[in-house]
Amino acid sequence: MSSLNKKFPRLLPEPIRKGMKVADLIDTAFKAYNGGRLAEACRLFTGKMIAGEGVVGMSLTGALTPAGLGRSAIVPLLKAGFVDWIISTGANLYHDLHYGLGMHLYAGSPFLNDVDLRRDGIIRIYDVLFDYDVLLDTDAFVRHVIQGSEFQRTMGSDEFHHLLGKYVAERERTLGIKETSVLSAAYQYGVPVFTSSPGDSSIGMNVAAMALRDSKLLIDVNRDVNQTAAIVYGAKSGGATSSVFILGGGSPKNFMLQTEPQIQEVMGIEERGHDYFLQCTDARPDTGGLSGATPGEAVSWGKIDPENLPDCVVCYADSTITLPLITAYALSKAAPRKPKRLYARREALYAKLREQYFKHGQVAKIEHRTDIEKKAKRGRSGRSVTGTKR
């Protein structure tokens, strides 16, 4: 017999039983290929990412909230304290509003006649259907809310979504509905929600239209870049792990990962990268696009700590399948965590990063980390060492 049995568990799944629990099914029947990766994803999320004080960022792309995943999976994850901060496409936050405002979306079919749908005022996202009025009413809600005095200034997208979430939570209360919306739950649990492209959604479109009137609302992307880096720096410098849970890919994936190069490459602060990387996607790595870029590639950029690369997981499967399963697995295997309420700490986290930046950062080129290591080695072997000028 080869030495395989010493290195790997035998592949001999249990037969699936009537009434089997989700977590048991995943542990016993998801053994290979993307089923195997999904089981690893469940164990990574539950056993390492949310362990202890680990800080978990989640990035959302793809049409997840229109499919109801906000209510079914993301809100329960926020409520359990398993996700501490979010970067989302504006689309997911916009369509989340429909649920928070008590509007109706329908499980339809992808095989309908779109010309007929257009004539009948029906919008289609693959097999999700809703009336055109859902868009018009949601747009009116956004325009109405952002006329308020607290919106008349420049702010980060986390602050903007927090304020918007307050109004969604209020509307949920008025309607007698609860736990329907990601923005409302994020507001209630103090979870910062960013968007990487504020203009690229119907929320941004309404903000832009109101700027043609007299709205002073402007989303400060520089603040977002630094604030997201501040969350990661706060976790790592405080001794906690920083994990990324990436659904899909796109610009939110990069916005979440670039926090580490922002700290190391741009600000000159020493750091090793995010600790754990979990991505569920359909994007392939061989096109060079960031959506499909692997955790290994991210290591080369300093985005991921090389030491934890063996723990990183990419599961090539639709998020509408993976997210509910990972959520159910985590909720059944791990105790809820106290929400970290990072939103309330945003100013303190920002100030801490700023202070470190002024200590280590500079305008001129920052010395390459490997150069510093080489010089340190030469120093140890008795040759002269040049200090790191920052």
Ligand X SMILES: NC(=O)c1ccc[n+]([C@@H]2O[C@H](COP(=O)([O-])OP(=O)(O)OC[C@H]3O[C@@H](n4cnc5c(N)ncnc54)[C@H](O)[C@@H]3O)[C@@H](O)[C@H]2O)c1
Name the site residues for ligand X (rule: CB under 6 A).
Answer: 61-62, 89-91, 94, 197, 200-202, 248-250, 280-283, 291, 318-320
Both tokens assigned to 97: 């509003």
Residue showing the smallest CB distance to ligand X in the complex:
62
Smallest separation, CB 139 to ligand X (Å): 10
| Alpha-carbon gap, residue 75 to 67, rounded angstroms | 14
The residue (of 55 and 280) whose beta carbon lies closer to ligand X is: 280
Both tokens assigned to 242: 């920083």
Considering only CA atoms, which of 364, 371, 355, 353 is closest in space to residue 390? Answer: 364
Which of 21, 303, 338, 374 is an active site residue?
303
Smallest separation, CB 132 to ligand X (Å): 12
**What DSSP line would sit under 13-52, residue for residue?**
PPPP-TT--HHHHHHHH--SHHHHHHHHHHHHIIIIITST
Smallest separation, CB 91 to ligand X (Å): 3
Considering only CA atoms, which of 385, 366, 364 is closest in space to residue 374? Answer: 385
The residue (of 250 and 302) whose beta carbon lies closer to ligand X is: 250
The residue (of 279 and 308) whose beta carbon lies closer to ligand X is: 279
Count how many Cα atoms sit within 13 Å of the Cα of residue 87 in the half-sphere of its side chain.
Answer: 31
Smallest separation, CB 279 to ligand X (Å): 9
123, 129 Cβ separation under 8 angstroms: yes
Active site residue 303: yes
The residue (of 67 and 269) whose beta carbon lies closer to ligand X is: 67
The residue (of 192 and 250) whose beta carbon lies closer to ligand X is: 250
Sequence-separated (6 or more) residues with CB below 8 Å from residue 55: 84, 85, 231, 232, 234, 235, 240, 241, 242, 243, 340, 342
Smallest separation, CB 297 to ligand X (Å): 15
| Alpha-carbon gap, residue 93 to 196, rounded angstroms | 12
Both tokens assigned to 11: 């592949």
| Burial zone of 288 (CB within 10 Å; 0-12 exposed, 13-18 middle, 19+ buried) | exposed
Smallest separation, CB 38 to ligand X (Å): 12
Sequence-separated (6 or more) residues with CB below 8 Å from residue 52: 240, 241
The residue (of 61 and 228) whose beta carbon lies closer to ligand X is: 61
Residue 244 phi/psi, 5-degree rounding, is -120, 130
255, 59 Cβ separation under 8 angstroms: yes
The residue (of 34 and 237) whose beta carbon lies closer to ligand X is: 34
Smallest separation, CB 69 to ligand X (Å): 9
Would you give the DSSP letter of residue 96? H
Q: Which residues are catalytic?
A: 303
